[in-house]
Amino acid sequence: MKEKIYTIPLMDAVRSGDECPFCFIERQLEQRVITFILGSAYMEEDIRKQTDKIGFCRQHYKMMFDYGNQLGNALMLKTHLAKLCKELKLELKTLSPKKSPLLSKFKKTAPEDETRNTSIGNWTRAKENSCYVCNHFKDVYPRYVDTFFEMIKNDEVFYKLVENGKGFCLPHFGDLMEAAPDQLNGKHQERFYSMIGPLMEKHIERLYEDVSWFVEKNDYRFKDADWKDSRDAVQRGMQKVAGGHPADPVFMSKR
């Protein structure tokens, strides 16, 4: 398959040696959006309208604060808070608590997907789950999954890179397995399943061994033994289980 502009990010990701190519892409996109909105975009009216409406999640507010452009952060917060003030006034005017079922009184916390008992509770939950940066990745992620399977079917070099790579984090592995029946059929599906299952088993076992040796190395009896591949086993293990890059340094503006 001839390399195209839209296939380059995935090819770069599988060549990166990352524990998960999709985590690699997600980090690139996330940093690109942070750089964009805190570069000059926060001065653009259409962008500010979007950030005012959507807001940001806790994780990405932290990234934006760490990035370093506090004036840009302040300008976005100013107009976003003004919008929240107006919305809150309306919510308070229409506040209509529901009666809680008897059993709910004995629950300490409600499940994440459970409807709350007040309109304000539902309003705040919606705000928690609304993020300009997260939405950007959610919008483009399905296209990357489509491209991944297109390349799996038509690009033998890419297939071999995946086969000889380190697999995926569990969340992205789950997404691929959910998408595979719609994306692949016949021999392509059979070939993919016969590759991806053993690949994931192999690399979860590898990380188990690395983490186990890290634990042993902290025993005085093994203090002089070789670390092998275990020095960064904790962060790689965390990534494999939950995604992301827990050991990444703070992402900051280069200005």
Residue-wise pLDDT for 123-171, tens only, equals: 888 888 899 999 999 999 999 999 999 999 999 999 999 999 999 999 9
In the predicted model, what is the mean pLDDT of residues 229-246?
97
Give the model confidence (pLDDT) of 32-46 as tens digits: 999 999 998 888 989
The answer on pLDDT for 105 being more than 60 is no
pLDDT of residue 254: 84
Distance CA 247, CA 105 (A): 40
Domain boundaries, the chain: 5-9+18-95+116-133, 144-242
In the predicted model, what is the mean pLDDT of residues 83-104?
76
The answer on pLDDT for 106 being more than 60 is no
Give the model confidence (pLDDT) of 54-81 as tens digits: 999 999 999 999 999 999 999 999 999 9
Strand extents, DSSP E, 76-216: none
Lowest mean pLDDT among 91-100, 108-117, 143-152, 185-194: 108-117
Helices (H), the chain: 8-15, 21-37, 45-54, 58-67, 70-93, 119-128, 132-154, 156-163, 170-183, 186-217, 233-242
Lowest mean pLDDT among 37-46, 167-176, 182-191, 224-233: 37-46
Q: How many CB atoms lie within 10 A of CB 195?
A: 15
Q: What is the percent of the chain with per-residue pLDDT over 90, rounded to a whole number?
A: 78
Burial of 16 per CB tally in 10 Å (0-12, 13-18, 19+): middle
pLDDT of residue 224: 93
Tell me how far apart the terminal alpha carbons of the chain are, to the nearest angstrom. Answer: 40
pLDDT of residue 97: 58
pLDDT of residue 5: 86
pLDDT of residue 62: 97
Band of pLDDT at residue 101, cut at 50, 70 and 90: low
Mean pLDDT of the chain: 91
Distance CA 186, CA 113 (A): 37
